[in-house]
């Protein structure tokens, strides 16, 4: 028998887990003096007279983005218990009275305060036991049954290994250990795929899970889940909160009134007339169509006057920042042009120009220079061991050959010099620092590659590392499984398959605060073509365009002949003896010298397109292919002439030079 909540849930816990989330949903009615209005991050005050008189600030500087209180920019955060206690932090009997006031304003019963039995947990326990017995999969579930079933599987998910960090946070912040959690109305949203699977095992039909909109929102992944019930005990809303995130993390809500409409469509239930079914604040249904069928209800669309407040909140989120996305801080010109990597980024390149190396370098540097970011590298072309070797080669500043084979071949000699051992140890120390935020997928450890598999690995990586933002690399996109491919020996398809485009779009949508880079093989770029590559990229990624278009598009290509002639003249400082510039043979010989002796090629990275905030342009890159590293700019030719056989490192180097 379930114990009443007041024997398990103290006043502080009750306020934090029940009252405040409910209060957050009706803030405009609970505290009308602020003139609260909704934004995409919570609430924003609009009553200028009140905020000026009380706090001396404009109303737009008073916001509520978390359930427990409100923030006045420049003056700090005030809890709701302090606010209802006339600005003083309450203690003792005052705290109890403040709790009663907030519970009344939130419209929830306060059994933990009054001593009355709390039947909600008993109801949830009974539902969970019913789900454990597996409901008949052939009988349709009504919305309230589906919602209760979801809560039951979410509670079981809270006991899973994946929810370990959330349980640890609950125990640390609120003292809620496993026995107490079992009887609280709290659960865990593991991932859309996992929650669908759990509901399927409980007997819920696939079409019912698809109609449950909450299961299609990957933003809830990793969130603590709770519920809000009406006075009759009916479940009316789910709330989700990433308690491991920032202090002002947004509380997400899912209104179950939307589920009623979706369920009626799934089960074919008759719909009532608009006059009978309309609810205050919700649009009425359109009248029946001539054929007797009704059009689906239209979604409420706000006008600009209503949207402008939300837009202001979006701008507030970025105000004062240096970057919009993830900076990598090594190719500084790229950061300046893009304001940080974000959204869907296409990297178009031909073979053998360093496309994998560049994507890997950007990902590694994002993790090194952003402590809240993680890297998930999906390698469809190389094994994860080869990828890891490239990372280590760059971090150690060592040629691949020396790293793998050593520099000494004598039978009585150690394979590596003391300097080389020190370099490798330094690289391993760096990998130890960032390695918990890096995961590499290949065909061995992820043989069945789907968007769900990638997102599940990403969720695990974020949960394990505590990362708040993610950089995902898919290398390369044309190798993504897209169902039955062409017959063996047949030419590849001209366009990217819809399944591939949909997969990368799903991944992009699941990382709203991060970036997804898709490496795309475009053969025209490898030939040095400067005019046709964009058209070829458009044909390859046609299914990615439109509403699934790229947020940024890069092109990596080698220097063409004209650019090599200009670089040759810059290095040598003069023209040929005939005065007509360097000859073609001289430029070609110099190019071979750079490759064979110094291990470099000269490349152009073009920022070809992007959304607002992205500036088009080109960057010169020096590719040190033996140690898997790109440097911005051309080599320092004076240093090259002085070194004789090795190029001196450029001033922007973030890693040690390989010159000895």
Name, in order, each residue with C-beta under 8 angstroms of 422's C-beta and a sequence gap of 6 or more: none
The pLDDT of residue 620: 95
Tell whether 136 and 195 lie within a shared domain.
yes
Tell whether 100 and 188 lie within a shared domain.
no
Q: Does residue 253 sit within a domain?
A: yes
Tell whether 211 and 160 lie within a shared domain.
yes
Q: Does residue 566 sit within a domain?
A: no
The answer to whether the CB of 403 falls within 8 A of the CB of 388 is no
The pLDDT of residue 660: 25
The pLDDT of residue 646: 37
Higher pLDDT, 444 or 542: 444
- HEC-encoded secondary structure of 92-148: HHHHHHHHHHHHHHHCCCCHHHHCCCCHHHHHHHHHHHHHHCCCCCCCCCCHHHHHH
> What angle in degrees, to the nearest 10, is found between the helix axes of 451-465 and 164-174?
30
Q: Are strands 515-521 and 552-558 parallel, antiparallel or unpaired?
A: unpaired
The Cα–Cα gap between 421 and 396 comes to 9
Tell me, yes or no, if the pTM score tops 0.75: no
**pLDDT of 596 over the 90 cut:** yes
The pLDDT of residue 639: 53
Q: Does residue 151 sit within a domain?
A: yes
The pLDDT of residue 12: 66
The Cα–Cα gap between 313 and 512 comes to 16
- Residue that finishes a domain, picked among 270, 302, 324: 270
Q: What is the CATH number of the domain that holds 534?
A: 3.40.50.300
Burial label, 345 (beta-carbon count in 10 A; 0-12, 13-18, 19+)? buried
Q: Does residue 543 sit within a domain?
A: yes
Q: Does residue 358 sit within a domain?
A: yes
The Cα–Cα gap between 158 and 65 comes to 25
Tell whether 507 and 548 lie within a shared domain.
yes
**pLDDT of 433 over the 80 cut:** yes
Tell whether 398 and 511 lie within a shared domain.
yes
Tell whether 147 and 68 lie within a shared domain.
no
The Cα–Cα gap between 614 and 596 comes to 36
Tell whether 391 and 245 lie within a shared domain.
no
**pLDDT of 577 over the 70 cut:** no
Tell whether 62 and 152 lie within a shared domain.
no
Average pLDDT score over residue span 263-282 = 36
Average pLDDT score over residue span 152-160 = 90
Provide the Cα torsion 85, 91, 94, 96; round to 10°. Answer: 110
Tell whether 351 and 436 lie within a shared domain.
yes
What is the count of structural domains for the chain?
3
Q: Mean pLDDT check: name the lowest of 21-25, 187-191, 272-276.
A: 272-276
- Our CA angle for 386, 390, 391, nearest 5°, is 115
Q: Does residue 564 sit within a domain?
A: no
The end-to-end CA distance of the chain, in Å, is 74
DSSP per residue over 410-468, as a string? -TTS-SS-HHHHHHHHHHHHHHHHHGGGEEEE-TTT-SS--HHHHHHHHHHHHHHH--S
CA 388 from centroid of its chain's CA atoms = 23
| pLDDT tens column, 517-527 | 999 988 755 44
| pLDDT tens column, 302-345 | 788 767 766 776 777 677 789 999 999 999 999 999 999 999 99
The pLDDT of residue 217: 81
| Count of CB atoms situated within 10 Å of the CB of 325 | 24
Tell whether 138 and 108 lie within a shared domain.
no
The answer to whether the CB of 481 falls within 8 A of the CB of 449 is yes
* Residue 361 lies in domain: 332-408+415-481+493-557+606-633
Tell whether 93 and 48 lie within a shared domain.
yes
pLDDT bin (cut points 50, 70, 90) of residue 69 is confident
pLDDT bin (cut points 50, 70, 90) of residue 442 is very high
Higher pLDDT, 537 or 37: 37
**pLDDT of 246 over the 60 cut:** no
Higher pLDDT, 367 or 584: 367
The pLDDT of residue 11: 64
Name, in order, each residue with C-beta under 8 angstroms of 419's C-beta and a sequence gap of 6 or more: 660
**Tokens 């079992």, residue?**
182
Q: Does residue 648 sit within a domain?
A: no
Q: Does residue 315 sit within a domain?
A: no
Tell whether 476 and 518 lie within a shared domain.
yes
Q: Mean pLDDT check: name the lowest of 147-151, 236-240, 288-292, 596-600.
A: 288-292
| pLDDT tens column, 341-381 | 999 999 999 989 999 999 999 999 999 999 999 999 999 99
The Cα–Cα gap between 157 and 272 comes to 37
| pLDDT tens column, 101-142 | 898 898 877 654 443 333 444 444 444 444 444 334 334 446
**pLDDT of 87 over the 50 cut:** yes
Q: What is the CATH number of the domain that holds 142?
A: 3.90.980.10
């Amino acid at each position: 028998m379930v114990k009443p909540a007041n024997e398990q849930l103290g006043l502080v816990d009750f306020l934090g887990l029940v009252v405040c989330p409910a209060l957050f949903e009706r803030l405009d009615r609970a505290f009308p003096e602020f003139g609260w209005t909704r934004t995409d991050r919570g609430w924003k005050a609009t009553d200028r007279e009140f905020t000026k008189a009380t706090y001396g600030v404009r109303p737009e500087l008073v916001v509520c983005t978390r359930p427990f209180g409100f923030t006045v920019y420049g003056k700090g955060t005030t809890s709701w218990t302090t606010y209802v206690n006339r600005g003083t932090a309450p203690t003792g009997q005052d705290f109890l009275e403040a709790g009663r006031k907030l519970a009344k304003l939130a419209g929830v019963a306060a059994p933990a305060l009054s001593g009355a039995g709390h039947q909600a947990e008993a109801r949830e326990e009974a539902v969970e036991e019913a789900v454990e017995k597996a409901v008949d999969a052939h009988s349709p579930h009504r919305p309230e049954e589906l919602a209760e079933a979801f809560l039951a599987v979410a509670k079981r998910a809270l006991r899973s290994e994946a929810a370990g960090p959330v349980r640890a946070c609950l125990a640390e912040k609120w003292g809620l250990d496993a026995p107490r959690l079992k009887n609280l109305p709290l659960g865990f949203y593991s991932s859309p795929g996992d929650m669908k699977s759990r509901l399927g095992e409980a007997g819920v039909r696939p079409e019912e899970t698809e109609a449950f909109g909450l299961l299609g929102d990957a933003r809830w992944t990793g969130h603590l889940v709770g519920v809000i019930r009406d006075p009759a005990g009916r479940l009316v809303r789910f709330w989700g909160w990433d308690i491991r995130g920032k202090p002002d993390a947004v509380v997400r809500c899912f209104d179950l009134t939307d589920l009623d409409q979706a369920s009626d469509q799934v089960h074919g239930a008759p719909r009532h007339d608009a006059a009978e079914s309309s609810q205050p604040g919700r649009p009425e249904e359109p009248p029946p169509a001539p054929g007797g069928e009704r059009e689906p209800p239209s979604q409420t669309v706000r006008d600009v006057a209503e949207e402008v407040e939300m837009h202001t909140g979006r701008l507030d989120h970025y105000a004062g920042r240096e970057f919009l996305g993830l900076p990598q801080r090594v190719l500084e010109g790229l950061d300046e042009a893009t304001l940080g990597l974000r959204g869907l980024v296409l990297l178009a390149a031909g073979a053998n120009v360093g496309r994998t190396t560049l994507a890997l370098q950007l990902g590694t540097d994002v993790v090194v220079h952003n402590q809240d970011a993680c890297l998930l590298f999906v390698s469809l072309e190389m094994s994860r061991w080869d990828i890891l070797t490239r990372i280590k080669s760059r971090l150690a500043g060592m040629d691949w050959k020396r790293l793998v084979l050593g520099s000494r071949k004598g039978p009585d000699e150690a394979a590596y010099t003391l300097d080389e051992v020190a370099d490798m140890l330094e690289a391993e120390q760096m990998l130890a620092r960032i390695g918990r935020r890096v995961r590499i997928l290949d065909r061995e450890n992820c043989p069945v590659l789907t968007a769900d598999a990638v997102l599940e690995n990403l969720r695990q990586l974020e949960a394990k590392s505590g990362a708040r933002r993610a950089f995902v690399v898919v290398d390369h996109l044309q190798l993504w499984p897209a169902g039955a491919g062409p017959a063996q020996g047949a030419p590849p398809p001209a366009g990217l398959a819809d399944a591939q485009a949909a997969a990368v779009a799903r991944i992009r949508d699941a990382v709203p605060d991060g970036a997804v880079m898709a490496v795309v093989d475009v053969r025209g770029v490898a030939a040095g073509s400067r005019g046709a590559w964009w058209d070829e990229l458009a044909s390859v990624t046609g299914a990615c365009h439109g509403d699934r278009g790229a947020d940024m598009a890069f092109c990596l290509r080698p220097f063409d002949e004209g650019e090599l002639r200009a670089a040759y003249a810059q290095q040598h400082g003069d023209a040929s003896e005939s005065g007509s510039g360097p000859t073609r043979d001289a430029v070609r010989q110099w190019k071979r010298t750079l490759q064979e002796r110094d291990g470099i090629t000269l490349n152009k990275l073009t920022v070809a397109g992007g959304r607002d905030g992205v500036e088009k342009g080109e960057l010169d890159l020096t590719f040190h292919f033996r140690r898997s590293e790109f440097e911005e700019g051309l080599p320092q030719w004076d240093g090259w002439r002085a070194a004789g056989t090795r190029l001196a490192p450029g001033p922007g180097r973030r890693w040690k030079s390989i010159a000895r």
